[in-house]
Amino acid sequence: MSARILDGAAIGKTIREEVASEVARLSGNGRKPGLAAVLVGEDPASAVYVRSKGKACEEAGMHSVTLRLPADTSESELLSTVDRLNADASIHGILVQLPLPRHIDSEKVLRRIDPGKDVDGFHPVNVGKLVTGDKSAFRPATPYGVQQMLIRSGIETKGAHAVIVGRSNIVGKPMANLLIQQGPGGDATVTVCHSRTRDLPTVTRQADILVAAIGKAEFVTADMVRPGAVVIDVGINRVDDPARPRGYRLVGDVAYEPVAQIASAITPVPGGVGPMTIAMLLQNTLQAMKQADLD
Ligand code: NDP
């Protein structure tokens, strides 16, 4: 068997186009969603993410602001920046790019963001709303993107056994919370695994849908996958590759070639979950403006 490739670039593009046409419609009424990204320090990967988020925003016709602060910005300065953005009526979504420098308490900063502008969905108010099934929750963009990918690829989650490897607040936990909600893209039976899980391969082999969010290159091997399973690879890892101009290439948390031989569907890296994340961030920013208009 050779797996169907779930093309996140194509699905993400469709979502971005849907958002863009809704933005164009609302712009006619003088309403324009605005997203502010705050980047502290010079982390090259973070700079790339923030740049591509800004570009995607502009392409969707949204207002985009990027605030680049020096690495030695104090916690109180960053909190004041968040306060200013909270009060800025042209900004509907705020994201503070993680990781923050070590001298800043990330939790404190994330909690300072107005929950109504928390388009990353990391504020405890939004986490609580997600858990309780409140539709006004902002769903964290990466697991939300995975869920959309499943829905739009016609993969039934209802009654399926979804096994998630990884329990981070950014991916694993919200992924589980999305998949157990009632309704489309939900109603799954969910198992969450982590580094303390006993006999991981026995658990992962029970998955109809296997989501890998581990952060270890090609960790999930074919013997860990049930033939016919749907495999979603969230991981983005750099591995040395002298043949590449940059000296590295990107691989996921799944050993793609052997697993693609036995899975029924699989996401590639790059071009799988990654492009979905930005698309869902735009979707959340649009949602933020619509919800603000209703308040
Ligand atoms: P974290 O490091 O926060 O979490 C990794 C999780 O994997 C932890 O829960 C950890 O368990 C678990 N884990 C680590 N080793 C093992 C093991 N040997 N067996 C079982 N579980 C293990 O990572 P993130 O969730 O932030 O990210 C995961 C991956 O997804 C990364 O590669 C990251 O780059 C990528 N990513 C991709 C995004 C995208 O847009 N596509 C967005 C966000 C992340 P424990 O809790 O016990 O330590």
CB-neighbour burial class of residue 187 (10 A; exposed 0-12, middle 13-18, buried 19+)? middle
**Distance from Cα 292 to the centre of ligand 1, integer Å:** 33
pLDDT in tens, 206-260: 999 999 999 999 999 999 999 999 999 999 999 999 999 999 999 999 999 999 9
DSSP character at residue 271: S
Question: Closest Cα to residue 23, out of 57, 52, 51?
Answer: 57
pLDDT in tens, 151-201: 999 999 999 999 999 999 999 999 999 999 999 999 999 999 999 999 999
3-state helix, strand, coil in the chain (%, to 5): 40, 15, 40
Which CA distances in Å does 7 have to 129, 149, 226, 265? Answer: 30, 8, 21, 10
pLDDT in tens, 72-124: 999 999 999 999 999 999 999 999 999 999 999 999 999 999 999 999 999 99
CB-neighbour burial class of residue 277 (10 A; exposed 0-12, middle 13-18, buried 19+)? buried
pLDDT in tens, 120-137: 999 999 999 999 999 999
Taking the C-alpha atoms of residue 272 and residue 188, their distance in angstroms, rounded to an integer, is 21
Q: How much is the pTM?
A: 0.97
Q: Which residue out of 175, 194, 251 has the highest number of ligand 1 atoms within 8 Å of its CB and is therefore the one to mutate?
A: 194
Residues of the chain with CATH 3.40.50.720: 141-274
**Distance from Cα 174 to the centre of ligand 1, integer Å:** 13
pLDDT at residue 28, as a whole number? 87
Residues of the chain with CATH 3.40.50.10860: 30-115
pLDDT at residue 87, as a whole number? 98
**Distance from Cα 216 to the centre of ligand 1, integer Å:** 8
Whether 120 sits among the annotated catalytic residues: the reply is: yes
pLDDT at residue 1, as a whole number? 58
Q: Which amino acid is at 220?
A: V
The CATH classification of domain 30-115, taken from the options 3.40.50.300, 1.20.1580.10, 3.10.20.30, 3.40.50.10860: 3.40.50.10860
Q: Is the pLDDT of residue 294 over 90?
A: no
Ligand 1 interacting residues, C-beta cut-off 6 A: 142, 165-168, 170-172, 193-197, 200, 213-216, 234-237, 253, 273-274, 277
Contacts of 291 (CB under 8 A, 6+ apart): 116, 136
Cα Rg of the chain, angstroms = 19
Phi/psi for 100 (5° steps) reads -90, 155
Residue identifier of the C-alpha nearest atom 40 of ligand 1: 274
DSSP character at residue 138: P
Three-state secondary structure of 177-245: HHHCCCCCCCCCEEEEECCCCCCHHHHHCCCCEEEECCCCCCCECHHHCCCCCEEEECCCEEEECCCCC
- The beta-carbon contacts of 40-49 under 8 Å, at least 24 apart in sequence, are 40/69, 40/70, 40/71, 40/73, 40/78, 40/96, 40/97, 40/100, 40/101, 40/104, 41/69, 41/70, 41/71, 41/100, 41/101, 42/71, 43/99, 46/97, 46/98, 46/99, 49/97
Q: For the domain covering 141-274, report its CATH number.
A: 3.40.50.720
118, 120, 208, 253: which is the annotated catalytic residue?
A: 120
